Structure 1
Amino acid sequence: MTTAQTSQASQTSRTAPARPPELRDFYEDPAVPVASGTPRSLRQARMLAEALTAERAHTILDIGCGDGTAAAVAAPLLPGHRLVGVDWSQDALRRARTRLPYTVRGELGDGGLPFGTESVDAVLFSEVIEHLVDPDAALDEIRRVLRPGGHLMLSTPNLAAWYNRGLLLAGVQPVFSEVSLRAIHGRPGREVVGHLRLYTARALREFVAAAGFTVVRLEGAPFHGVPRPMRPLDRLACRRPSLASILLLHARKT
């Protein structure tokens, strides 16, 4: 969701070290964006709807739900299933409760999600992983709560997006990357959203597979922040996920 997930960044350490106060304050700031673009939320929901069987209701967690916008967009495509918004930020959850019937506070550390082992059918993990201090612990915790064969629908910005390749050649900081929580330095854009880690398509595949998942599908999605004259090119790049602005990955628990 860029960034419906921003609230999760500092919760993923297995040993739960003290979290930097300035980082916690950053993610609790109501001014920090906590909603992703609608097009990518719809694409992700369609991918999940195609993957789920219709024989029974499924429990789906939207981890890093932010203000609930992305889950609300996905809900009509997932009728009959129980969609639960999960976030660490109390401010985000207050807003999410206006859009979602079920919300719960949870963290992405060891046992930090308030759900039993192998109790969940699917996880939406939209625009969260790029904000995490410890993404390994996050995927371990997601894998714990997923049933065998459960679905992980993950989205994240692409470090190797088509325009970032050109920017790097020109010596410009890539879009989506950030060197400070206080201001933008050396790259296009004006919003600080707290990105700590970025992935290419290859790195994301390898990382998710190493965490005990089987990658089923990888697609691209456009980025709403691309200037209007360049949006046709951005949509065209989605045909090759390695060049797309946003990576949409579907994996299953091995």
Structure 2
Amino acid sequence: MTTTTPARRRDLRDFYEDPSVPVASGTPRSLRQARMLAAALGPAATGGAKTVLDIGCGDGTAAATAAPFLAGHRIVGVDWSQDALRRARTRLPYTVRGELTDGGLPFGTGSADAVLFSEVIEHLVDPDSALDEIRRVLRPGGHLMLSTPNLAAWYNRALLLAGVQPVFSEVSLRAIHGRPGREVVGHLRLSTARALREFVAAAGFDVVRLRGAPFHGVPRPLRPLDRLACAVPSAASILLLHARRT
């Protein structure tokens, strides 16, 4: 999901409608994020069913992973990619097309209790407008569960010192240049833990917690180290941020 100029939008839409482009990320991140959201919302029987929007749902994997932790709550998958929504419908009972523009989400102001925003913000041309629209649809005090790759991940620090392009960053939508990895995934923006906190706070949210999560693409011999790095979110592969709408 993104906002762009018309010429730029055509290229990005073609990219994200390509079935070969990945639209899901790893299970460890999804599980950690789901547990954070479940703890924030509480049981449905206690506070009543809540509406959770998975914005930029991709193929629905993240929401489907969260569903067992959110029993009784209503989860709605939202994406602008028709190909992603087609796949998401095999996993989610509710899906809808929407965009992160002013009024682009088909929901009333203050109508959602929580938003899952998993591995989306790094793909956006205009993340400011995106958070404005998310804030609009969230009720006061509503929860934002955001995840994004960490520019300052422990291995990226070493790669930069060696003059190598950091993992997660890209200079082209056509091919990998100068960094490890094989898949072009369309990342346009990356942030450190500090920058992410400041950005979300400036958008009208109170940051509750920031945690780290491992990256499924780390080579197997390095995975134990990647899991250990999660204890220090600023060095973890993936940033998991919980914030509340002011």
TM-score w.r.t. the length of structure 1 is: 0.94
Q: Is the 8 A contact 2:80 2:99 kept in 1?
A: yes
Question: 2:235 corresponds to which residue?
Answer: 243
What is the count of residue pairs matched by the alignment?
243
Q: What letter is aligned with 1:235? A: R
- 3-state secondary structure, aligned to 2:241: strand
Q: Distance in 2 between matches of 1:51 and 1:70?
A: 17
Q: Structure 1 stretches of 5 or more lacking a match?
A: 1-7
Q: Is the 8 A contact 1:12 1:110 kept in 2?
A: no
Q: What letter is aligned with 2:38? A: A
Alignment of 1:228 with 2:216, yes or no, is no
Q: Distance in 1 between matches of 2:122 and 2:37?
A: 21
Equivalent of 1:115, from 93, 101, 107? 107
Q: Distance in 1 between matches of 2:125 and 2:245?
A: 22
Q: Is the 8 A contact 1:72 1:100 kept in 2?
A: yes
Aligned 1:124-163 pairs, distance under 5 A: 124-163=116-155
Q: Structure 2 stretches of 5 or more lacking a match?
A: none
1:27-47: CA deviations, max 9, x gaps? 100000001111110100000
Equivalent of 1:207, from 196, 199, 209? 199
Question: 2:83 corresponds to which residue?
Answer: 91
Alignment of 1:189 with 2:178, yes or no, is no
Alignment of 1:38 with 2:58, yes or no, is no
Q: What letter is aligned with 2:66? A: A
Q: Distance in 1 between matches of 2:8 and 2:227?
A: 39
Q: Distance in 2 between matches of 1:42 and 1:237?
A: 17
Q: Distance in 1 between matches of 2:142 and 2:213?
A: 23
- 3-state secondary structure, aligned to 2:92: coil
Q: CA deviation at 1:19?
A: 3.8
- 3-state secondary structure, aligned to 1:247: strand
Q: CA deviation at 1:51?
A: 0.5
Q: Distance in 1 between matches of 2:135 and 2:10?
A: 29
Question: 1:4 corresponds to which residue?
Answer: none
1:27-73: CA deviations, max 9, x gaps? 10000000111111010000000001331100000000001111111
Q: Give the % identical residues.
A: 87
Question: 2:41 corresponds to which residue?
Answer: 52
Structure 1 runs of 4+ aligned residues shifted over 6 Å read none
Q: Is the 8 A contact 2:53 2:112 kept in 1?
A: yes
Alignment of 1:63 with 2:52, yes or no, is no
Q: Distance in 2 between matches of 1:95 and 1:89?
A: 10
Alignment of 1:218 with 2:210, yes or no, is yes
Q: Distance in 2 between matches of 1:119 and 1:71?
A: 19
1:88-113: CA deviations, max 9, x gaps? 00000001001100000000000000
1:135-154: CA deviations, max 9, x gaps? 00000000000000000000
Q: CA deviation at 1:24?
A: 1.2
Q: CA deviation at 1:234?
A: 0.2
How big is the alpha-carbon RMSD for the aligned residues of Structure 1 and Structure 2? Answer: 0.9
